[in-house]
Structure 1
Amino acid sequence: MSVNALYTDLSGYYDLMCADIDYQAQSRCVHRLQQIFGNGGVRHLDLACGTGPHVRHFIDFGYQSGGLDINQPMLNRAAIRCPEAHFSLQDMCTFSLSEPVDLITCFLYSIHYSAGIDRLKACIASVHGALAAGGLFCFNAVDKDKIDNALSVSHAAEHEGSRFTFRSGWHYCGVGEKQSLRLSIEKACAAQTQVWHDEHPMVAVSFGELIGVLAPYFEVQVLEHDYGKVVAWNETSGNAIFACVKR
């Protein structure tokens, strides 16, 4: 099998790859942030929604929720998971809505898929234009200056008689606006083991630079990357949750 064959349609492996993520805790935390910082409305859009697990939780919390993604197979699976929701095939950097929403989310560091500073700025402008007055934009991000290229995370899952091991880690060369997310998937079945590698181009920003891009559009709260409580960022950790209220 070609080393790239698995990525022809990653949607079939996406939920396995993210099996260790507590989607409910993440969604519940942002729901709380909407009550604290936002306008309290229940119209919600999830950027880079994938197969829709966050959308599912927001619907269960009482939101009118939907999502967008650039991958149609992902959206097909999201529509099965959340038949009540509206999903749209759009680029999060250039999207538009027919009606404003109260809350826009972008989980799992997906804001970095903007890939470059100009596209990141376009994404933030698109979000601002899509939010109602007092609307909230919530996402998580990593500070380029605090990335340890030697660190990675991994987990394993059983699926249809095979054992999958997923590994991912950030890599930043130390200069410029580009970093990458390095991903590997190992599939072990009987006597055969296959390994796929991929590297996703991502935008690299420091938190200071990110706040600077957000500030013309939003009042910005930077919080510790802890979905169990709301705590101000300690200014030393390299991961944070951003809660941004539309100006």
Structure 2
Amino acid sequence: MRNFLYRNPDLYDEVYAGTNRLDTGLCERAFQQYLGRLPGSLLDVGCGTGEDVGHFARQGVAAVGVDLQPLMLQRAKLKYPDVTFTEADMRHLDLGRRFEAVISFGYALSNLHTDTDIAATLHSIARHCTPGALLILEALALPADRAVIGLPRHFTLDTPELRARASARYDLDRRSRLLHRRRSWHDEDGMLLEEDSARFRMLTPAELRIHLERAGFDVLDVHDREHPDRADMPSGVMVALARYATRP
């Protein structure tokens, strides 16, 4: 993976500011519906620059964030010095504690390309859940229509230091379920700054449910991130809500 924004986490925050507000709003509604309150403790898997976990820490939740990108974590620690951040591989977490809620956004699960790695991660998350803990998990949804990829194709940066735009191209290998994204970043004069690329594993809602159930979770709901009432997942991103039921 080559990601321009991961290497420039201040720019990452600029591009995804609105997305973080969507994340936390979705979580707060789920907490109210299924817990009746904010959780006492929360783990953010793939926390990035810490916006989501920092939001809940400010509200008194004992929150911990984990990520594998050191530059992203450096920025997270600068922004939220009172929050615990840990550099760790989500497939092999061993934090020595359990949480009432676990959240995971930013395509974290979709960065795992095999069923083995997905299963390892969900079992790892389960080991950090208290009985009845709520899991809110984002994943990329495999489109039913070969021609439709609902993910963002245009990205904009507008800061005092840099004004730039990026266009994204997507190619899906349906046999491997891998989506290849290529982005080209240009400055305001049209000069090419950088090209980056990433591969993401896509799942159907049914496949995600099976993975969660095998890790010991009772699935409460799987819906489109931006259109909860749409069964066809038009945004390309699905969110699963699940409760930890048994030790995997």
SS at match of 2:85: strand
Q: 1:113 to 1:38 in 2, by over 3 A?
A: farther
CA drift at 1:169: 5.5
Number of the residue aligned with 2:99: 101
Q: Structure 1 vs Structure 2: percent identity of aligned residues? A: 19
Number of the residue aligned with 2:124: 126
CA drift at 1:161: 4.5
Number of the residue aligned with 1:218: 217
Deviations 1:21-54 (A, max 9, x none): 2423321321221232248532111111111111
For 1:185, give the aligned amino acid.
Answer: W
Deviations 1:122-153 (A, max 9, x none): 11101111111111111222222346259643
For 2:16, give the aligned amino acid.
Answer: C
Matching residue within 209, 225, 232 for 1:236: 232
* Mapped partners of 1:5, 1:223: distance in 2: 28
1:31 aligns to 2:33 (yes or no): no
> Does structure 2 retain, via aligned residues, the 8 Å contact 1:152–1:170?
no
SS at match of 1:171: strand
More displaced 10-residue stretch of structure 1: 159-168 or 128-137 = 159-168
Number of the residue aligned with 1:79: 77
SS at match of 1:93: helix
SS at match of 1:176: coil
SS at match of 1:67: strand
Q: 1:45 to 1:94 in 2, by over 3 A?
A: same
Q: 1:209 to 1:61 in 2, by over 3 A?
A: same
CA drift at 1:181: 3.3
CA drift at 1:8: 8.3
Q: 1:207 to 1:6 in 2, by over 3 A?
A: closer
Number of the residue aligned with 1:185: 185
* Mapped partners of 2:40, 2:25: distance in 1: 13
Number of the residue aligned with 1:174: 174
Aligned length, in residue pairs? 237
Q: 1:157 to 1:97 in 2, by over 3 A?
A: same
For 1:206, give the aligned amino acid.
Answer: T
SS at match of 1:172: strand
Q: 1:155 to 1:8 in 2, by over 3 A?
A: closer
1:140 aligns to 2:138 (yes or no): yes
Task: Give TM-score, length-normalised by structure 1.
Answer: 0.84
Deviations 1:184-229 (A, max 9, x none): 32223xx5722322221222221111111111311111133238xx
* Mapped partners of 1:84, 1:23: distance in 2: 19
SS at match of 1:44: strand
CA drift at 1:105: 0.8
For 2:26, give the aligned amino acid.
Answer: C
Matching residue within 35, 55, 59 for 2:57: 59
> Does structure 2 retain, via aligned residues, the 8 Å contact 1:145–1:174?
no
CA drift at 1:164: 1.4
SS at match of 1:97: coil
Number of the residue aligned with 1:164: 164
* Mapped partners of 2:149, 2:53: distance in 1: 32
* Mapped partners of 1:25, 1:8: distance in 2: 20
Number of the residue aligned with 2:205: 207
CA drift at 1:160: 3.0
Q: 1:121 to 1:79 in 2, by over 3 A?
A: same
> Does structure 1 retain, via aligned residues, the 8 Å contact 2:223–2:231?
no
For 2:232, give the aligned amino acid.
Answer: T
C-alpha RMSD of matched pairs (Å): 2.6
> Does structure 2 retain, via aligned residues, the 8 Å contact 1:156–1:166?
yes
